């Protein structure tokens, strides 16, 4: 498998380092292209892997779909992994569709406020943009795994695995976040994108 990782911030770095550690002999992952608008940051992450040939670096503007498609073609990738803030999801998601490869992100496409009653009614909810395109992806024979961050993504996968392999019956599963959300020197800390946290808090209840 060859992967184009768009975004080498904190999450992107962890993805690259875990991939190298878990698959040092390249049995399942042949190459992971580390791309970021901050080229120096991408080079820094590649150096930490200790294998810059297997983790080549590229500069990319995550808001530019054509640039992402061009990189996917250059390296003939099988998967585009979105390690960016979800404000870039549409461009990266559509680049994967245009190129014709699988896609994964940690947080789904953002919501849009109701044009007439934004404080009481939902309009376009988190993930609606992507879910509405499910049939198009299915028809093209490619897969998009969206919202695969800690919760609900990984916690859903863990719960399903536990239900299938460890238990005869489950009445309730209550995920808990193990992060203490403390950063020394700061009064408040966020577990992920500040803007995404605010977005989720401001969304009205679903109808």
* CA nearest neighbour of 191 among 151, 148, 157: 151
Beta-carbon contacts of residue 137 (< 8 Å; ≥ 6 apart):
97, 143, 144
Q: Helix/strand/coil (H, E, C) string of 128-173?
A: HHHHCCHHHHHHHCCCEECCCCHHHHHHHHHHHHHHHHCCCCCCCC
When the candidates are 3.40.50.300, 3.40.50.2300, 3.30.1600.10, 3.40.50.720, the CATH number that belongs to 2-151 is 3.40.50.720
Cis peptide preceding 198, ω within 30 of 0: no
Position 25 scores a pLDDT of 93
Q: What pLDDT digit, counting tens, does each position of 151-183 carry?
A: 778 888 888 999 999 999 999 988 776 667 777
Position 204 scores a pLDDT of 64
Q: Which residue ranges make up each domain of the chain?
A: 2-151
Indicate the pairing of strand 57-59 with strand 79-82.
Answer: unpaired
Query: Mean pLDDT per segment of 10 residues, for the chain of length 207 residues?
Result: 96 95 94 98 97 96 98 98 94 98 93 87 89 97 92 84 93 78 80 75 65
pTM of the model: 0.86
Position 206 scores a pLDDT of 56
Give the three-class secondary structure for 6: strand
Write down the mean pLDDT value for the chain.
91
Position 186 scores a pLDDT of 84
């Amino acid at each position: 498998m060859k992967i184009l990782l768009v975004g080498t911030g904190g999450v992107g770095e962890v993805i690259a380092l875990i991939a190298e550690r878990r698959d040092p002999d390249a049995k399942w992952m042949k190459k992971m292209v580390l791309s970021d608008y901050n080229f120096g940051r991408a080079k820094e992450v590649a150096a930490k892997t200790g294998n810059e040939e297997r983790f080549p670096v590229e500069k990319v503007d995550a808001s530019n779909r054509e640039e992402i498609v061009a990189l996917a073609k250059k390296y003939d990738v099988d998967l585009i992994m979105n390690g960016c803030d979800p404000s870039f999801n549409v461009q990266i998601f559509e680049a994967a569709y245009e190129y014709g490869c699988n896609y994964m992100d940690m947080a789904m496409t953002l919501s849009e406020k109701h044009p007439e009653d934004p404080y009481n009614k939902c309009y376009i909810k988190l993930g609606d943009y992507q879910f509405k395109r499910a049939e198009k992806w299915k028809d093209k024979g490619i897969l998009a795994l969206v919202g695969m961050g800690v919760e609900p993504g990984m916690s859903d996968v863990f719960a399903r695995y536990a239900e299938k392999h460890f238990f005869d019956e489950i009445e309730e599963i209550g995920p808990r976040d193990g992060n203490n959300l403390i950063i020394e020197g700061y009064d408040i800390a966020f577990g992920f994108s500040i803007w995404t946290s605010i977005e989720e808090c401001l969304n009205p209840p679903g109808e």
